[in-house]
Amino acid sequence: MRPRRQDHRSRPAVPGTAARLNSASALTRRSFLTLGTSALALGVCGRAAAASPGVPFGAAIQSDHFDDETYRQLFLDHCDMIVPMNELKFGLLQWERGEFDFTRADMLVDFARENGRTSRGHTFVWHSTNPPWLETITDAREGEAVLVEHIERVADHFRGRLTEWDVVNEVISNDPTRDASGALRDTVWTRLLGPRHIPIAFQAAARADPGAALVVNDYGLEPEGEVAEAKRRVMLDLVRQLQDANIRVDAVGLQAHLYAHFRVDVEGLGRFKEELERLGVGLTITELDVIDFQIHGGSRRQDRAAARVVSDLLDAVLAGPPPRALVTWGITDRHSWVDGSMPHADGTPSRPLPLDANDQPKAWYLDLRRRLTSAD
Ligand code: G3I
């Protein structure tokens, strides 16, 4: 494991980044410093213990299908890491204010542990899947107390059982080059607390689970084009600003919901990874799948297109030090969010995941496993 940098004060400023974060929701050095907190004790940056050699492979599991023994077995057959897809989200843990229900999340995390697998936590802060009561809060102090209490209670409950936490998810705006909210997405948390909800969340997580790696997770960082390039710049700026404020951030989570009709920016993503390495920050691929509604002509074409984008992603992320883990957002095409959200217009089933609807491995998945195994 590489040592993590502990003092970021000597890092030269990157020209232009501050100017890009110029909206009402911009991250400013001042917004972090107004926290009035001192340097935090740095926690352990642990790598997922892997049952197989190389980069640990994981997949997201859903409690909705947990009664299906065949489904459960797929995770044991294929995964080093088993990740609750939805059960650790705010609204699923604290639907009623102050009443925490860990039943479903515990079931999945314990299933992983009892079978010698690891798990990672997704997620404390997100704009989606929040309980209605959260949206009614208008007082900043009350909002901060709710945020800190939620993170402390949840991180404490799972302490020692999760290798990583997505502390914040999708805080970068959908299109930082155009969105009115600027660099950051307009959410319940920015409306209540502004950009400082991010360092507040990281500090609470670091206090509550010093052993878990703390991750900033986002989507749309992989493709070619100016929007993804802007998102990568904002992500790097966010990481630097957290480090400048002596706030621990261990890794960036690359969701990698890849569109089969887009190209992965192998060079741009490679440069992004190198910059993270210079900052002493790791990379986890957190939600890989392939969105193929624009690929017509049958399953072989869909799988060929998927193989190309996945291979390009691997070219970028396996160059240099290996990522901490690679997680797919589900394991079998029988259960994926993709057909619900981005279906083929003619009803053709999507093929987003490692195993097809008959639970048979696709060629791109076998290739991915070979490359992960030899990537250490
Ligand atoms: O659990 C209930 C079930 O009891 C009920 O029968 C069923 C009826 O519709 O709904 C089930 O809940 C659904 C849940 O997924 C579990 O399947 C929710 O309605 C649905 O909104 C929820 O969607 C999830 C979505 O995040 C919102 O939380 C998707 O499964 C999940 O794949 C998706 O994951 C997100 C990541 O968290 C962040 N990145 C993007 C990714 C894809 O959108």
Tell me if 328 CB under 6 Å of ligand 1: no
Q: Indicate which residue's Cα is closest to atom 5 of ligand 1.
A: 64
Whole-number Å distance, alpha carbon 62 to ligand 1 midpoint, is 9
Tell me if 128 CB under 6 Å of ligand 1: yes
Tell me if 86 CB under 6 Å of ligand 1: yes
With H, G, I as helix, E, B as strand and everything else as coil, classify residue 216: strand
Mutate to test the pocket of ligand 1, among 334, 337, 350 (most ligand atoms within 8 A of CB): 337
Tell me if 286 CB under 6 Å of ligand 1: no
CB neighbourhood size of 28 (10 A): 15
Task: Work out the angle at residue 198's Cα, subtended by the Cα atoms of residues 118 and 160, and round it to the nearest 5 degrees.
Answer: 25
Q: Locate tokens 């995941």: which residue?
A: 353
Residues that are catalytic: 170, 287
Spacing of C-alpha 229 from chain mean position: 18
Helix 226-244, helix 266-278: angle, nearest 10: 0
Q: Locate tokens 């990481």: which residue?
A: 239
> What integer pLDDT is reported at residue 82 of this predicted model?
98
Tell me if 73 CB under 6 Å of ligand 1: no
Closest CA to 158 of 199, 205, 203, 116: 205
Closest CA to 20 of 170, 126, 172, 168: 172
Please give the Cα distance from 253 to 251 (Å, whole number). 6
User: Is the bond into 190 cis (omega within 30 degrees of 0)?
Assistant: no
Whole-number Å distance, alpha carbon 33 to ligand 1 midpoint, is 36
What stretches of the chain adopt beta strand conformation (E)? Answer: 57-61, 81-84, 121-125, 164-169, 213-218, 251-254, 257-259, 282-291, 325-328
Whole-number Å distance, alpha carbon 86 to ligand 1 midpoint, is 6
CA distances for 217 relative to 25, 52, 168, 170, 283, angstroms: 18, 25, 6, 6, 10
Whole-number Å distance, alpha carbon 49 to ligand 1 midpoint, is 28
> What integer pLDDT is reported at residue 234 of this predicted model?
98
Tell me if 90 CB under 6 Å of ligand 1: no
Q: What pTM, to 2 d.p., does this model score?
A: 0.89
Q: Locate tokens 């993804």: which residue?
A: 228
Position 199, amino acid: P
> What integer pLDDT is reported at residue 19 of this predicted model?
33
Reading the block at residue 333, the tokens are 């095409």
Closest CA to 108 of 151, 62, 53, 170: 62
What lies within 8 Å, CB to CB, of 312 at 6+ separation is 263, 264, 266
Question: Where does 26-139 have alpha helices with state H?
Answer: 29-33, 69-78, 90-93, 103-114, 132-135
**Ramachandran category for residue 59: left, alpha or beta (phi over 0 → left; psi -120 to 50 → alpha):** beta
Q: Indicate which residue's Cα is closest to atom 30 of ligand 1.
A: 337
> What integer pLDDT is reported at residue 53 of this predicted model?
84
Per-residue pLDDT of the chain (376 residues; tens, 9 = 90+): 333 333 332 332 333 333 333 333 445 433 433 332 222 222 222 233 445 689 999 999 999 999 999 999 999 999 999 999 999 999 999 999 999 999 999 999 999 999 999 999 999 999 999 999 999 999 999 999 999 999 999 999 999 999 999 999 999 999 999 999 999 999 999 999 999 999 999 999 999 999 999 999 999 999 999 999 999 999 999 999 999 999 999 999 999 999 999 999 999 999 999 999 999 999 999 999 999 999 999 999 999 999 999 999 999 999 999 999 999 999 999 999 999 999 999 999 999 999 999 999 999 999 999 999 999 7
Summary count for the chain: helices (H), strands (E): 14, 9
**Ramachandran category for residue 60: left, alpha or beta (phi over 0 → left; psi -120 to 50 → alpha):** beta
